[in-house]
Structure formats: structure tokens, C-alpha cells
Chains A and B, each alone.
Chain A
Amino acid sequence: MKLLRPGILFICVFALFAIGSETTAKVSDIEIVVSLNRDTIGLEEQVILQITVNSSEQNLPAPRLPTLPMFKVYSQGRSSNISITNGVVSATLTYRYIFTPQRAGTFPIENISIVHKNKRFTGNSVELTVLNQGVATPKKLEGSARDSRGNSRDYFLEAAVDKKNPYVGQQVTLTLKFYIAVQNYGSPELSEPTMTGFWSEVIGNKPVYFQRINNRRYKVSERKYALFPTQTGELTIGRAMISATIATRRNTRDPYSMFGNVFGRGKDITVRSDPVTVNVKSLPTKKKPKNFTGTVGKFSITASADKRKVEVNQPVTVLFKITGVGNIKSVAEPAMPDLADFRIYRASSSENTSRVNDKLGGTKIYEEVFIPGRPGEMTIPSISYNYFDPESRKYKTIKTRPIKISVIKPEGYVAAPQSPFQSNNMSIDNEARDIRYIKTDLGDTQPIGQVLIFRPIYIAVNSLPLAILAGLIVIRKRREKLQANVGYARSRSALRMARKRLSKARKLSNSETVVDFYAELNSALVSYMADKLNISPHGLTTDKVRELLSEREASEELIADIINVIQQCDYARYAPSTIEQEDIDESLKTVEKVMVGIEGVKFD
């Protein structure tokens, strides 16, 4: 258990998958897959047995292991993964066991089973060879673990493929193994190899394990890729590179050396794998079916209709489900025959990939819509699909079952000439079997490169509330100031009040209402000054006016004008008969001029 504690992890989150060459045993809807991470080990090594149970049931008992006296067996726990695909729940339970051999020999491990609802489900058998030596290390690996001078390497990176001569489209599994025998800091960073000429997918990373090579214990991190060659000939998988920081060796004379590995400075290292060359064969031309679309692997096909009884011109959706092992993403659509009674178009396609024992596979579903054009009993015929099976090196044909459809006449049905399917927004592109339909509506247009967030309308929409907020805050502050400071409020309203009074005085500016005119004029001027100076208008004598305005540095001319006007107002009120219309107009002008002058004076 201690040995298998995770140490180094690659930069990604890993899924757990086992390696091995075993077959799958499927009984009913419970599938048990047994695999070993190595098929040959030495007496001092350990092996991990993984049991994967795929089922639609979620509460299954743990699998029963047979009695294995030649091994010590420890459970390493269980993990589960529940997924819902097309409304179907499927659960995958994974059990892991560590096997420590007690003696050498070749041992089959079989009859791993689950009993559920009085039925027994048994998994595939695997075989483990235990060599009568400490470790079982291939010679090539022992060579890789030594440098050119024969010294043991601290770390090295190995890249290997499971097939050197695959067919085009056949899966090649690339395994990268990083061996390190010294302590490292942090997570090593991987630069993926270039895979020109391959369609690639990462299968995942294995949990870190240990392996003894040349009497040194290496920690091994393993990452696997599924590669599908897309062209023939010699293809090269480039070098992968790992950058890591390893602990430098301790200086034994250093009294603090016990902390050396904890606090010591690391050394940055880079290690590259050798390029791997694969010679890709083309598919045989002999007996190649006519409508072969390049699908390579091992597949089965089924067809199912969403309804069996429809009205004329109503759609029936038929799901063509292609399931198996191979590059599921490149599985082409089954060729639909020309049917006189149906209009056919592709609605959608979806795929669900899975990995079993490092083999990529899954299900691809093509949804085709069949629209019957006339009433009657009709049949969607058997659809055949061809693929190349690289294991048997033969082209194979699989077929769906025919589907019977009852097409009924709707009320008021009149047979119409066939016309291409049209809807408001899209037309079905009859030519395209792969890409989806073109659009017949130009949609929302905009000038090229225009970005909403820089458009004036967008800036205005966002600025307007901000401006309203700023305005309201200013108004509120002003109101608060007016409420708190009477002098300020009087000063602010002085001019407005004076204008009102002047306007009233202007209406009285004729010789018949001289007294009223001058009374109003006097009141306008005196009240205005009192408001500006924040004092009572009563008792604002000419001397007081002179004194207060002088303090505020008003010009002598202005002060003289004000006093003259006030005196003239007093005089006119007591001797109105001496006042001419010219005097009235002159007084009015002088007051207006004086007020303009006072506005220029600084008041507190």
C-alpha cells in the first residue's frame, strides 16, 4: 500500500485505466472486465489487478475473487462512475487489488464473478507469469536505464507503440513512461510529442507505480495516447519532453544535511524520449466494398424509429446507432438509399466515446428524419454499413433490421407533387452528408469589427444612470447647504428676489405712480443688499452701506452710485412732483447697473 501512494502526478487530472491483453466477457447487462497492469513480474514485485464492472444497476455486490494461495492479496479500494446517456443510466465500478507473489510460475486468474438476482456473472480470465528472480525487467529497459558509460541513469523517458505496422485508421497506442529514481519537487511538466499524420486522443494517465531496474527502484509515471494514422507510409511520432526539478545529492559533511532534501535547492532537468517511427499500411484494395467510407475497427449497427404509425408528411425519426471499437469520431454516416416514398434528411449526430483496456470506442448516433410522402404500409429497408476489421484483415458488412411504418391519411389529405423540404429559417442541404445545412437568413448584421462595448448607444445607456446619480447628488448637496446656511441661502436667492421687485417697479415707472415706483425700487435695492450681506433690511442706512461695502473692497464709484440711488428714492418719495419721467428711467438704469456691480463684490 505504501509503495502505491501517489507521488508524482502529471499536470493533468488522470482517469484510471488498466493495460493488458485480455478479452471482454459480457453476460446480460452486467459486464466484468479483468485486467492486470503487467503480465510478467519478478518475485520481489507487485502487480495491480483491476476489475471493472459496467452495468445499469448501481447496487451490485463486490466481485468474488477465487482462492489464490500463490499470492498475498490486498484491496486498494473501489471507485465508481455513474453516467446518463440518452436517458439510460450506466454505472462503472472499479475495484483494485495488489497482488504480491509468493512463488514463481504461471498462474491463471479466472472465475472472478458477481452473483446478482440469482444469476452469476463471470469476468474474463487473465494470466500472470512470476519469474524466479527479483525483478522481471526487459533487457531493452535495462539498457535504457544506463548511460553510454554504463552508469545507472537517475531518470529517463521512454516512448513506445503497441503496433509498428498498423493499417491506416487502426488504433496505435502510444505509451510514455517517465522513470525517476531520485526525489523530485513539484509536478513534472510534459511537452507532448508532435503526432503529424495521426488523429490523436489522450487515453489517460496511470497511477504512479514503482519498478526495479538494475537494482534501482524507479518511480514510473505513465501516460497513454490513442493514435489513428490518417495517412499511409512512414510516420514519425516526435520527441516528448519532460521538465522537472530534482533534489541535488546531499553533502554528508554538512551538519544540516538532514534538512538537505527538504530545504535544499533543486536542479532543473529536461529529458526527451526518442522519436518513434510507425510504418502505416494502406487498406487492402481486394474485395473493398463500393460504399466503404474508411471506417476501421469493429462495429455493430442498430436502427430504431421513434414511432411506427404516422400521418403523411409527418416526420419519423430513426436513430442509427453504430457501436464498437475504433475511432468513433470518424465513423461516417450510413449511406441512405433513395426511397421514392420518403424524403430523408439528417437531423443531427452525436457520439459517446468510451475506453476499454486502452482501446478507444463508443457509440455514434446518426439521427435521420424520414418523411413519408403517401399513405400505406411502408418499410424503411435494411441499411448496410461497411468497415475494415484490422484483426481479421477483412472488410465486413453489418446491417440494420428493416423497420415497418404505417402511414395514415390525415383529414383533408390531397396528394401533392413532391417539393424540397423548406422551413422558415433553414433549408436542408441535400448534398451535404457531413456538415450541417446552410442558413437562408442573413440574420443580424453589423459592420465588421464593431464591438458592442465601444458603441455610442452602449456607452450612453451606461452613462445616463451615472449622470442622473451625479445630478441628484449635486442637487441634494446644494439643498443641504441652503438649509444649513441661511446667509448662503439668502445670498443665492437675493438676485432672484431683486429681479422680481425690479420687474414690479418697472410696471410702476410712470409719473403717476412715482411714489410707489421709488418705494419698490428702494425696497428692491435695500433688500437685495441686505440678503447679500445677510443682515436685516431695517436699519440699513447709507452710512452702514458705505461701511459694509468698503469692508468688502467695493469700488468707491459703486458705493457712491448706491448711496445716490437710495437718497434719490427717499427724495422722490417725499417730493414726487419734482420727478420727471427721465429721472425715473435714469434711476431704473442706475439700480440695474448697481446690482451688476454688487454681483462682482465678494460676499462671505
Chain B
Amino acid sequence: MTNKILTILLVTLVCASAAAGQDDIFQTGVKYYQESNYDDAIRMFSKIEKSGIESAALYYNLGNAYFKSGDLGRAVLYYHRAKRLGPGDADIINNLKFASQFSKVQMVGVQLNPIEAFLKDTVGSYQLSALGWLFSLFFIIFIILLIMKYGLQFRFTGIDAVIISILCLTIFAAGLTSFKYRVDYLDRRAVILAPEAPVYSGPSSNSELELRGAPGLVVELLRESGDYYHVLLENKRRGWIKKDLVAEI
């Protein structure tokens, strides 16, 4: 028993010191950034990322440091990653918007599905975890009501109406959560990093050139074939781009 307690204490101590270590590295990165030493700031922030830890602030700072060092593609990439973890953060939204303006290729988006556009707007500023907990809240209230009605035989006037209403809210929250999960994790998107990124009509450089992509342009990955991704552009045109020219968000 004593051994077990000691082991738990040791593990807790190791975890806590690791977290403290990451924070020190982060602060060093911030210091480098404030001294305009962006390459070293990137090195420090990337160290945390390589250790398998992520946070909205970490990705945001990486985006800023890359922007300052002139790497627009990676700046946009990290702002998008930051936005996934902190979708309501005004700084992230502002900087992503600002940086995106510098991309040499600007697409005019064509919205084909208004329902999807509405849902994206609705869930856009919420974190997946916030929606997940919202679903849990309604689900637990729903189960508590069922426990009251069927488990404890505690009934009051209108309990059925309340149960149905909460069930509807639970289904709605579940729908939003799964849609958000799809948008954040199942829909694969990538950012062009390379300065020269030709988009072809087929998975080969011999195919017809559709567009000259530029760093910072976001594409949706549809499928892959050999060294190429089949991508969907914001204006709903499709093309093929070499895998090593983009990075997945």
C-alpha cells in the first residue's frame, strides 16, 4: 500500500515538473520573440510541440513568430491550428485574417450549401469540448429525469413534456458536437507552405496547370494518389498538388 502511494506521488511529481519545464521553455520563447529573435522563438515553441503538447497560445505564438520571420504559409497554418483549440479568441481570429490578406492568391468562396454554412457559423466560435460538455449537460439532465420517472417513481405534472424538450436539446447538442468534430477533425484541410505551388488538373506535373498556389492558401484535401493530394479550393475548383508543398492543419 505504501509503495503504491509512493509511486502515485512520484508520477504526479514528474508530471508537474514536466509541465513546469514546458512553461519555462515557453517563457524563453516569449523572451526571444520580444527581443525580435524570431528564429530562436520558433525553436523554443516547436520544442514544446515536439514533446506532444499543444495549446491555443502555443500555436498562436508560433503563428506570430513565423509571420514575423516572413514564413506566411506556416504562420497561417499555426493560426488555423490555434483557432481549432481557441475558436473564440479574438487575437487568433484577427491575426489569421490579417496574415491571410498577404497571400498572393485570394479565392472568392462559393457557398453551395447554405445549411452547412449556417451550421459552420453557429459552431464556428465554440470549442469542441464546450459543445461536448453542453451535450453532456443535457444528456445527464435527461437521464436524471428518466431516473426520477422510471427509477424513483417521482412524477410531476408535465414531466413527459420536460423529458421530450430535454431530449430534443440533447439531440440538437449531439448534432452540433458531431458536426463540430467533423469540421475540426474529419474534414482534412491543409495550408500551402511552398513559395511555388502549382495546382494541376491531374496527379502529375505533366497535367495542365490549373492555378499557381501561394503560401497561406488553404485547401481541402479530398483524397491522395501517390505523391499528390486531390484538393478542393475555396472557389470550389479542384486540382492536384504535391504533398510536400502543403501541411495539414
**Do residues B151 and A473 form an inter-chain contact, with CB atoms below 8 A?**
yes
**Do residues A192 and B150 form an inter-chain contact, with CB atoms below 8 A?**
no
Q: CA of A342 to CA of B132 in the docked complex: distance in angstroms? A: 47
A382 within 8 A of B: no
Contacts known (A202-B108, A446-B53); A438 close to B98, Cβ less than 8 A:
no
Q: CA of A195 to CA of B104 in the docked complex: distance in angstroms? A: 10
**Do residues B151 and A476 form an inter-chain contact, with CB atoms below 8 A?**
yes
Partner of B110, one of A11, A198, A434: A11
**Do residues A196 and B212 form an inter-chain contact, with CB atoms below 8 A?**
yes
Q: CA of A437 to CA of B106 in the docked complex: distance in angstroms? A: 25
A15 within 8 A of B: no
Contact with A along B139-152 (1 / 0, CB 8 A): 11001101100111
Give the segment of A460-468, A508-516, A533-541 that binds chain B. Answer: A460-468
Contacts known (A11-B110, A469-B143); A448 close to B53, Cβ less than 8 A:
yes
A191 within 8 A of B: yes
**Do residues A442 and B128 form an inter-chain contact, with CB atoms below 8 A?**
no
Q: CA of A199 to CA of B106 in the docked complex: distance in angstroms? A: 6
Contacts known (A199-B106, A451-B185, A476-B150); A438 close to B136, Cβ less than 8 A:
no
* Chain A positions 327-351 with a Cβ under 8 Å from a chain B Cβ: 329-330, 348-349
Partner of B52, one of A197, A432, A447, A461: A447
**Do residues A190 and B110 form an inter-chain contact, with CB atoms below 8 A?**
yes
With both beta carbons as reference points, the residue of chain A lying nearest to B35 in the complex is identified as: A431
Partner of B91, one of A192, A202, A436, A440: A436
- B131 shortest CB reach to chain A, Å: 9
* Chain A positions 167-209 with a Cβ under 8 Å from a chain B Cβ: 190-192, 194-202
**Do residues A427 and B101 form an inter-chain contact, with CB atoms below 8 A?**
no
**Do residues B55 and A446 form an inter-chain contact, with CB atoms below 8 A?**
yes
A444 within 8 A of B: yes
Contacts known (A452-B128, A468-B147); A196 close to B105, Cβ less than 8 A:
yes
- A329 shortest CB reach to chain B, Å: 6
A44 within 8 A of B: no
B4 within 8 A of A: no
* Chain B positions 171-185 with a Cβ under 8 Å from a chain A Cβ: 177, 181, 185
Contacts known (A453-B181, A462-B136, A469-B147); A438 close to B55, Cβ less than 8 A:
no
Contact with B along A414-439 (1 / 0, CB 8 A): 00000000000001010110111111
B6 within 8 A of A: no
- A13 shortest CB reach to chain B, Å: 9
**Do residues A452 and B143 form an inter-chain contact, with CB atoms below 8 A?**
no
Contacts known (A195-B108, A442-B26); A429 close to B101, Cβ less than 8 A:
no
Q: CA of A448 to CA of B27 in the docked complex: distance in angstroms? A: 20
Partner of A225, one of B108, B128, B151: B108
Partner of A458, one of B36, B132, B147, B211: B132
A12 within 8 A of B: yes
B245 within 8 A of A: no
B166 within 8 A of A: no
Contacts known (A442-B26, A465-B143, A468-B147); A448 close to B54, Cβ less than 8 A:
yes
With both beta carbons as reference points, the residue of chain B lying nearest to A441 in the complex is identified as: B57
- B219 shortest CB reach to chain A, Å: 14
Q: CA of A441 to CA of B60 in the docked complex: distance in angstroms? A: 11
* Chain B positions 224-245 with a Cβ under 8 Å from a chain A Cβ: 235-237
- A240 shortest CB reach to chain B, Å: 10
B47 within 8 A of A: no
**Do residues B55 and A330 form an inter-chain contact, with CB atoms below 8 A?**
no
Q: CA of A225 to CA of B106 in the docked complex: distance in angstroms? A: 13
Q: CA of A448 to CA of B212 in the docked complex: distance in angstroms? A: 32
With both beta carbons as reference points, the residue of chain B lying nearest to A13 in the complex is identified as: B114
B129 within 8 A of A: yes
* Chain B positions 120-166 with a Cβ under 8 Å from a chain A Cβ: 128-129, 132-133, 136, 139-140, 143-144, 146-147, 150-153
When distances are taken between beta carbons in the complex, the residues of chain A under 8 Å from B235 are 191-192, 194
**Do residues B128 and A191 form an inter-chain contact, with CB atoms below 8 A?**
no
B33 within 8 A of A: yes
B23 within 8 A of A: yes
* Chain A positions 490-515 with a Cβ under 8 Å from a chain B Cβ: none
With both beta carbons as reference points, the residue of chain A lying nearest to B147 in the complex is identified as: A469
When distances are taken between beta carbons in the complex, the residues of chain A under 8 Å from B106 are 195, 198-200, 230
**Do residues A196 and B211 form an inter-chain contact, with CB atoms below 8 A?**
yes
Contact with A along B211-226 (1 / 0, CB 8 A): 1100000000000000
**Do residues B94 and A461 form an inter-chain contact, with CB atoms below 8 A?**
no
With both beta carbons as reference points, the residue of chain B lying nearest to A199 in the complex is identified as: B106
**Do residues A191 and B237 form an inter-chain contact, with CB atoms below 8 A?**
yes
When distances are taken between beta carbons in the complex, the residues of chain B under 8 Å from A431 are 36, 68
When distances are taken between beta carbons in the complex, the residues of chain B under 8 Å from A191 are 110, 235-237
A191-B237, A329-B101 known; 9 other A-B pairs, CB under 8 Å? A190-B110, A194-B235, A196-B211, A435-B98, A443-B56, A444-B56, A451-B181, A453-B128, A472-B150
**A interface with B by C-beta (< 8 Å):** 11-12, 190-192, 194-202, 225, 230-231, 329-330, 348-349, 427, 429, 431-432, 434-448, 451-453, 458, 461-462, 465-466, 468-469, 472-473, 475-476
Q: Which 3 A-B pairs have the closest CB atoms?
A: A472-B151, A465-B143, A439-B57
- Subset of 21 A-B contacts with CB under 8 Å: A11-B110, A11-B112, A192-B235, A197-B104, A435-B94, A436-B94, A436-B95, A437-B91, A438-B61, A439-B30, A439-B57, A439-B60, A442-B58, A443-B56, A443-B86, A445-B55, A447-B52, A447-B54, A451-B128, A462-B136, A462-B139
**B interface with A by C-beta (< 8 Å):** 19, 22-23, 26-27, 30, 33-34, 36, 48-49, 52-58, 60-61, 64-65, 67-68, 86, 91, 94-95, 98-99, 101, 104-106, 108, 110-112, 128-129, 132-133, 136, 139-140, 143-144, 146-147, 150-153, 177, 181, 185, 210-212, 235-237
